[in-house]
Amino acid sequence: MEKLMYTLWKSDAQSAGAFKADLLGAVSRDLLQRGARKLRVSVDDDAVAPAAALRQINSIPPVNAVVSLWVDSVQYRRPCEEVLRSSSARLAGYLVTESEAIVNTKHPVRDGERVTGMMQIVFLTRPPRLRYEHWLDLWLDGHTPVGVETQSNFGYRQNVVVRRLTYGAPPCDGFVEENFPAAAMTSPHAFYEAAGYEATY
């Protein structure tokens, strides 16, 4: 089974609420009917509005959603891409390998439920000055243990990009998916799991 990640942009004419409802409703149903074995839908909505100051914008306009789906083979992705294209103004697709540095056992949910708190998705691009192997080592074996140790994550996934799947997809070498408690949206101490150390922050 292979994991595919698609970044999506809504049309200017569509509201954020309508875009979210479409993704969680008809789009999800169609993807599952057309070969997706599993889905993860991450969408920018009012529930995470308090975390706006934490957002790092990588494109203009900013990405509105990231849809992850698992298929038996990347060769069978076309029907799913048709669904995503018909429901968004623009998309970019990537084949990735996923590794879970922190498995979410603290706030597990049933299929179709929202995970508590917020999920931060970080887009990574290798600096040209670094060899690919060196960059990968710095990210996976250097930075990740620090993030796990210092942040309040209860879910942490690393996605190494194998290749781009759609024409014109921006260069990207990796995605990090991090689940944080709701308090982390507005409190640096909650974000860095530093409650009780306010005077030293």
User: Residues 15-52: pLDDT tens digits?
Assistant: 999 999 999 999 999 999 999 999 999 999 888 988 88
- Please report the pLDDT score of residue 60 as a whole number: 78
pTM of full prediction above 0.85: yes
- Please report the pLDDT score of residue 195 as a whole number: 59
- Please report the pLDDT score of residue 177 as a whole number: 96
- Please report the pLDDT score of residue 147 as a whole number: 85
Please state the rounded mean pLDDT for residues 120-148.
93
Percent of the chain with pLDDT over 90: 74
pLDDT band for 55, please (50, 70, 90 cuts). confident
Is the Cβ–Cβ distance between 6 and 93 less than 8 Å? yes
Percent of the chain with pLDDT over 70: 96
